[in-house]
Amino acid sequence: MRKVLSSRSIKVAVFAWCLVPLGLLVWRAFHHHLTANPIEYITHQTGDWTIIFIVITLAVTPARKLLRLPELIRFRRMLGLFAFSYGFLHFSTWIGLDKFFDWAEMLHDVRKRPFITAGFTGFALMIPLAVTSTAGWIRRLGGKRWLTLHRLIYVTAVAGVVHYYWLVKSDVRKPLFYGALVALLLALRVGLWLFARRGKPAPDRPLERKLTTAETVRLAR
């Protein structure tokens, strides 16, 4: 398993899988299958995939620790950048196709419509994470500060769930489902942190401790 996760081909395969939702959207656009309301369809698809990628990205660290598979971290940056990219498409659809670049109306929406305020906050917080996702930025900030900054992903996740919850009119099952996943992943983090504080892991069990800056840089490549 660890050998597979370390291979280049699995990274390429995961990358290709991440492109599938976009590919399907493009395919549907070319075949006029974007439903009677294409803007709404694109907004909903890209919104769904943004929250899905955020949750998958959040799951990487707990999975790495619980399954003792440090190689999983190789996928975290890629998954996070896909979350950002789908978020960018989602936001761009709203700007260009929904609002036709009417900046005054957009500003009004961001200030007056709570679900837009929450979505906007979530997306805005992803920008520094995407910018500092490179190995150079990990080194420049140092592992500890970089990790602290990247905890913003939890705020983004909560904002994304709130955004979803506030925008649905009646059936709140899906936003509640994502909310439960985010809560579970947060609780796992806290649990693992408390567990790690109880005793120093032996040096020969590096999988159970936090990664150093150099390890993060090396594995994030």
Which spans of this chain sit near ligand HEM (rule: CB under 6 A)?
43-44, 47-48, 50-51, 54, 87, 90-91, 94, 116, 119-120, 122-123, 156, 159-160, 163-164, 167
Token readout for 175 is 């936003």
Q: What is the dihedral of CA 201, 202, 208, 214, to 10 degrees?
A: 110
Closest contact distance (angstroms) between CB of 97 and ligand HEM is 10
First to last CA, the chain: 19
* CA-based radius of gyration for the chain: 19
Among residues 36 and 202, whose Cβ is nearest to ligand HEM? 36
Closest contact distance (angstroms) between CB of 117 and ligand HEM is 9
Closest contact distance (angstroms) between CB of 50 and ligand HEM is 4
Closest contact distance (angstroms) between CB of 120 and ligand HEM is 4
Among residues 37 and 134, whose Cβ is nearest to ligand HEM? 37
| Measured CA distances, 119 to 116, 125, 171, 217 (Å) | 5, 10, 19, 30
Among residues 56 and 211, whose Cβ is nearest to ligand HEM? 56
CA distance 52 to 187: 18
